[in-house]
Amino acid sequence: MGTKTAGGKSTKPSERKSRFSTAVDEEALEFIKAIEEYKALKERPFPSWTEVIQVIKALGYRKVAESRPIADVTPE
């Protein structure tokens, strides 16, 4: 079962590419779990940015390089 594109070509659903990646790498998964644990422990549905930074530091992250423009950040 496929879908028709604007040009009339038929594509299979598995061939269609999502605009957003749904894959989560191990590093991101570790961060998500840590935030969820923090929210549960502190009974806070939305931690502040300061709290998010605290969680990141608790995971062992430290600034080791100079900052760069956000526009230069690309997904890995």
Task: Decide the pairing of beta strands 10-11 and 3-4.
Answer: antiparallel
Cα 40 from Cα 30, distance rounded (Å): 15
**Per-residue pLDDT tens for 3-61?**
555 655 555 555 555 566 677 889 999 999 999 999 999 999 999 999 999 999 999 99
Q: Dihedral of CA 54/56/60/65: which sign?
A: negative
Domain boundaries, the chain: 23-63
Query: Which pLDDT band holds residue 75 (cuts at 50, 70, 90)?
Result: confident
